[in-house]
Amino acid sequence: MSRIAVIGAGPCGLAQLHAFEQARQDGIDVGEVVCFEKQSDWGGLWNYTWRTGVDAHGDPVHGSMYRYLWSNGPKECLEFSDYTFDEHFGGPIPSFPPREVLFDYIAGRAKKSNVRQFIRFDTAVREVTFDDAAQTFTLTVESWEAAESWEGTETTLSTEVFDHVIVATGHFSTPNVPEYPGFATFPGRILHSHDFRDAVEFAGKNLLILGSSYSAEDIALQSRKYGAASVTICYRNAPMGFGWPDGISEVPALSHVEGRTAHFCDGTSRDVDAIILCTGYQHNFPFLDPELRLVTPNNLYPGGLYKGVVWTANPKLLYLGMQDQFYTFNMFDAQAFVARDVVLGRLALPDADAMAADVDAWLAKYAAVDSVEGQIDFQTDYVRDLMALTDYPDFDLDLVRQHFVTWEHDKDESITGYRDKSFASPCTGTVGPTPHTTWWDELDDSLARFLRRG
Amino acid sequence: MSRIAVIGAGPCGLAQLHAFEQARQDGIDVGEVVCFEKQSDWGGLWNYTWRTGVDAHGDPVHGSMYRYLWSNGPKECLEFSDYTFDEHFGGPIPSFPPREVLFDYIAGRAKKSNVRQFIRFDTAVREVTFDDAAQTFTLTVESWEAAESWEGTETTLSTEVFDHVIVATGHFSTPNVPEYPGFATFPGRILHSHDFRDAVEFAGKNLLILGSSYSAEDIALQSRKYGAASVTICYRNAPMGFGWPDGISEVPALSHVEGRTAHFCDGTSRDVDAIILCTGYQHNFPFLDPELRLVTPNNLYPGGLYKGVVWTANPKLLYLGMQDQFYTFNMFDAQAFVARDVVLGRLALPDADAMAADVDAWLAKYAAVDSVEGQIDFQTDYVRDLMALTDYPDFDLDLVRQHFVTWEHDKDESITGYRDKSFASPCTGTVGPTPHTTWWDELDDSLARFLRRG
C-alpha cells in the first residue's frame, strides 16, 4: 500500500486531507495518508496562540496570528467551492470576518470530511531524506506526551518510510529580522510582527513600524485602532500611500536609532517607544534534506515546482501554498487536488523537460507582470490552469478576479473603510450583508459578536 | 591525530579551549580542537542580543540576558584563579559588576590565551551521532554566510568526524513556559524571562511575575527600579520573603486570568498590564542523538555524569556546566581541566561500576542536603573534589564558601542593598571597593560608568 506523508495541518494540509478523502469516498484506493502536525490542534496560522518565541517543547512558535485580526481580503475570494460559507453558517455573513470566524469555517469542512483521524498532533517532522535506491522517503518524527505545567515533556523519536511527501508547512512562520545600528541600546521593545499578539500592549505608545506590505499596513491600523498614541511607518522603497487616519504617517527608510530616537534617511527623526519589524518571512524547511528544500523569495511563482506544486527535481515530493497570495484557501484546494491526482497516478506528469518548459513559461509570463492588476490576473490564470486538471468544483474565477480589483480600489479609497464593503460569492451568488458595526469602530473580534444580528 | 569538538563558546566552551591551550603551551599534544558557536561572537549568555524569539536564521535565540543586569553574586566567587580581576582591570573594582564588565573579563582571558582561532562562529551543530564500530562521533554542522539586511542567508551543511565531543551549550536558553487559563485573551504582553530585554518597556505598568527563583527576584527588582508602577510576584510553593521595596509584593499561586485580572489561589485578585513567566529553563539538546542526551531537572548534581562531567554511558562524551550554580566561571574551569585531562588520557577513568558508585555517592550526599547553606557546602565540596584532579591553580575555596553564606545573609538583610557590599578575592586577597553609586540608584549599566572613579 502506498504511504503518503502530509506535513502540517493548516489550511493547505487540511485541503490535502480533504482532497484524499473525497477520492476515497469515490471508491478510489488512496493508500495510507498520515498528516504530522507539531501544534496540538489544526488550523496552522489560524490556530491562535498567545505564545511567542519558542513553544512548550523549545521549538520556534509556528503562529504569527495576532488578536483582533480581521480578514484583509473579502472572504468570497477564498471560499471553498465544495463547502460554501452559506453551508457552514446557514446564511449570509459579512465579507470581512475576524480570525475566529475563518478558523471555524476551516475547521467546519475538516470536521465534515472527517479528516482529524489522519492527523498526528504534537508531532514534529525533524528530518526527511530520500533513498534513491528504494525511491522512498524516511521521516524522523518527534512526538510529545501531554506536558505537566512547569516541567519538560517526554519526547519520542521514530522513523517511518513514505512513498510521497507533501510539504504544507507554510511560509509565514520564520521571520526575516534585520538589525539596525542602535537596536542593542534602544530602551523599549523591539519585535518582529511574527511575535505581535495584542495591540493593547501598545496603547498610549509611539510606535515605529518597518515595512510596506500587508503586515505593516494591518499592524499600523490595528495598533492605532486600539490606542497607540502614534504610528510611524518607514519604508525602504516606496510608501504604501494610503489615506491613513490621523496618527499614522509614513517616512523614508530607517537609518539608525540613538536612545529612543529613530533617525530616517531623509534626515528627519522621531522619538518612539517600541519598534515593530514588519519585514516579512523566509521560506524555511530545516527538516528537509538540503537537496529537497525549496529555496525561493516570497513571490507569485517560485521556480522548480511544476504547476506550482510538484518538485520537478523529484516529483514524489510536493509543496502546497508556497506562492505569495491573493488567492488562498481555494487555491490551496486546487493545488491539493492536483497533488492528490499526481500522487495517485491519475494525473500523468510529462517528462522532466516538459515540466521545466512549463515552469519556464510561467516564469516568463510572471516576469512580464508590472502592476498589481497584472499580479491578480497572473494568479487568476494560475488557478484557472490548476482547475482544469482535476475534479475540484468550479467557481466563478472571473468574479473573484474582479473582486480583487475592486478590493484594491476600495483600499485606495479608504484604508479604514474597505472592510465594510460587501461582495458576492463566486459559488452561491450570496452577497455578504453590511456589518452591524463598521470595522474601525468594532473592537470585539469574537465570532459571537460578528454573527450577532444588528 | 585526535579530534575534539567543543559545542558552544560561552563561559564553559571558552574555559575548555583555554584548558587545552594551557596544555599545548606546556608542550602536550592536544590534537585538533574545534569549537562550534552558532552566535556571531563568543560569550554565550553574556553576549547580549536585543533579539528575541528566533535569530536571523530562524533558530531559537540562545540569549536570555537582559539590559541593566548586574551580577547577583559577588564577582570574587566566580574569579578565574589563573586570570584574576586585578590582572584584567589593573586594579580593584567593586564586587557586583554589570554584564558588560563580566563579558569584558571573560573575553579578556580568551584573548590572552588566544583561543579565538579555534572557534567557528555562525555555525550550529545540528546532529551528533556515535558510531559504535568506529568509536567516533559524526557531527552535522550548518554554517551561514554573512546576512544581507532583509534577506535570508546562504547556509551550508557538512559533516565531520570527532573522537570526543564536549557539550558546553548551557541550560538557560530553552524556557519552561506554562499556560494558565485566560492567557489567550489577556490584553497585554505575556513573556518568559528568556525574552525579557529592557525593563523600560514596563515603566508605568502593573506587572505580574510568576516564579520564586533568581529570575523572578531580579526581574521584579529591576522592573521596579526602572519605573514599573507595581510588581506582583506569585509563587507556587513558598514566597521568597525578602524585604521588598515599596511597590513589590508576593502573593500565592496564580489560578487563572480573566481579561486583565489575575486571580490567585487565595481568592484575591489584581489587575495587571503584563505577565512575565520566570518559570525556569529546560536542559535541551535537540542536536544530540537521543541516546546521548543528558535528561535532568535543574539541580546541583545531574545523574549520569562522573565528576559531573563525563557521560558515564559513553565517556567520549562530556558535558560542562550542567549543574545548577552557586559556583560558575571557576567551577567551569575546574570541570574543563578535568574534561581536558580525561580526553587526553592524563586522567584515567575508573571502570563503569566505579564511576557509577562515585555518582551514586554524590547523589546520596546531595539527597541529604536540606538547607541553602547545605547546598553551598555541597557545591564547594564538589569543586574541591574537581580541583584535586588537575593542575588548575588553587584558590581559597573556604573563603568563597564563606562569601556565599555572607551573601545570602546580605540578601536577607537588604534585597536592594546587597550589591553594595564588598568581598575579598580568593585569589589575590584584593577587596572590592565600595561602588561610587548604590545599585538601587544606579541606572547606567555601562562598563565605562562602572569603572569611573567616584
Same domain assignment for residues A269 and A285? no
Whether residues B70 and B187 fall in one domain: no
Boundary of a domain, candidates A277, A303, A335: A277
Q: How many domains does chain A have?
A: 2
Cα separation, A284 vs A60, in Å, equals: 12
**Which residues constitute the domain of residue A317?**
3-173+281-399
- Asked if B201 and B64 sit in the same domain, the reply is no
Cα A180 from chain centre? 27
Closest CA to B285 of B296, B276, B275, B272: B296
Please give, rounded to a whole number of angstroms, the shortest distance from the CA of A431 to a CA of chain B.
32
A314 falls within a domain? yes
Q: Are residues A389 and A285 in the same domain?
A: yes
Contacts of B284 in chain A (CB under 8 A): 58, 152
Of B150, B176, B286, the CB nearest to A279: B150
Rounded CA-CA distance B268/B182 in Å is: 16
Q: B235 and B119, same structural domain? A: no
CB-CB neighbors (< 8 A) of A290 in chain B: 155, 157
If asked whether residues B201 and B152 sit together in one domain, one would say: no
Out of B261, B277, B293, a domain closes at: B277
* Chosen from A47, A54, A100 to mutate, greatest number of chain B CBs within 10 A: A54
* Cα nearest neighbour of B126 on chain A: A286
Based on the fold, state whether residues B98 and B123 are members of the same structural domain: yes
Predicted confidence band of residue A149 (pLDDT cuts 50, 70, 90) = very low
Question: Considering only CB atoms, which chain A residues are within 8 Å of B192?
Answer: 53
In three-state secondary structure terms, A215 is: helix
Query: What's B258's domain CATH number?
Result: 3.50.50.60
- The residue among A224, A242, A277 that closes a domain is A277
What residues of chain B lie within 8 A of the CB of A149, using their CB? 178-179
The CA distance from A261 to the nearest CA of chain B, in Å, is: 15
Minimum distance, in Å, between the CA of residue B236 and any CA atom of chain A = 10
Tell me how far CA of residue B82 lies from CA of B282, B333, B380, B425, in angstroms: 32, 10, 19, 13
Neighbours of B450 (CB within 10 A): 21
CA distance B217 to B408: 13
Q: Are strands B123-131 and B119-120 parallel, antiparallel or unpaired?
A: unpaired
> In this predicted complex, what is the ipTM?
0.94
Asked if the structure places residue B414 within a domain, the reply is no
Q: Does the residue B424 lie in any domain?
A: no
* pLDDT, greater one: A178 or B144: A178
Residue A272 inside a domain? The answer is: yes
**Gap from B429 CA to chain A (nearest CA, Å):** 36
Query: Across the interface, which of A157, A189, A273 has its CB nearest the CB of B290?
Result: A157
- Say if residue A311 is in the same domain as residue A380: yes
The answer to whether position B405 is within a domain reads: no
Closest C-alpha to A250, from A212, A280, A289: A212
Residue A251 C-alpha, separation from nearest chain B C-alpha, in angstroms: 18
Q: Which residues of B touch A59 (CB under 8 A)?
A: 60
Q: What does the pLDDT profile of chain B (454 residues) look like in tens digits? A: 899 999 999 999 999 999 999 999 999 999 999 999 999 999 999 999 999 999 998 999 999 999 999 999 999 999 999 999 999 999 999 999 999 999 999 999 999 999 999 999 999 999 999 999 999 999 999 998 754 444 455 778 899 999 999 999 999 999 999 999 999 999 999 999 999 999 999 999 999 999 999 999 999 999 999 999 999 999 999 999 999 999 999 999 999 999 999 999 999 999 999 999 999 999 999 999 999 999 999 999 999 999 999 999 999 999 999 999 999 999 999 999 999 999 999 999 999 999 999 999 999 999 999 999 999 999 999 999 999 999 999 999 999 999 999 999 999 999 999 999 999 999 999 999 999 999 999 999 999 999 997 5
Residues of A in contact with B200 (CB under 8 A): 187-188
Tell me the shortest Cα–Cα distance from A54 to chain B, in angstroms: 6
A9 and A156 inside one domain: yes
Q: Do A53 and B175 touch (CB under 8 A)?
A: yes
* Chain B residues inside the 8 Å CB shell of A236: 150
Are the beta carbons of A149 and B56 separated by less than 8 Å? no
Amino acid identity, position B47: N
Asked whether residue A99 is assigned to any structural domain, the reply reads yes
Answer yes or no: do A298 and A245 share one domain: no
User: Is there a single domain that holds both residue A321 and residue A245?
Assistant: no
* Site from B126, B201, B225, B283 to mutate, A interface, most A CB atoms within 10 angstroms: B201
| Helix/strand/coil (H/E/C) assignment for every residue in chain B | CCEEEEECCCHHHHHHHHHHHHHHHCCCCCCEEEEECCCCCCCHHHCCCCCCCECCCCCECCCCCCCCCECCCCHHHCCECCECHHHHHCCCCCCCCEHHHHHHHHHHHHHHCCCHHHEECCEEEEEEEEECCCCEEEEEEEEECCCCCCCCCCEEEEEEEECEEEECCCCCCEECCCCCCCHHHCCCEEEEHHHCCCHHHHCCCEEEEECCCHHHHHHHHHHHHCCCCEEEEECCCCCCCCCCCCCEEEECCEEEEECCEEEECCCCEEECCEEEECCCEECCCCCECHHHCCCCCCCCCCCCEECCCEECCCCCEEECCCCCCCCCHHHHHHHHHHHHHHHCCCCCCCCHHHHHHHHHHHHHHHHCCCCHHHHHHHHHHHHHHHHCCCCCCCCCHHHHHHHHHHHHHHHHHCCCCHHHCCCECCCCCCECCCCCCCHHHCCCCCHHHHHCCC
Does residue A411 lie within any of the structural domains?
Answer: no
Q: Give this prediction's pTM.
A: 0.95
Does the residue A449 lie in any domain?
no
Binary contact (A58, B290; C-beta < 8 A): no
Residues B163 and B36 in one domain: yes
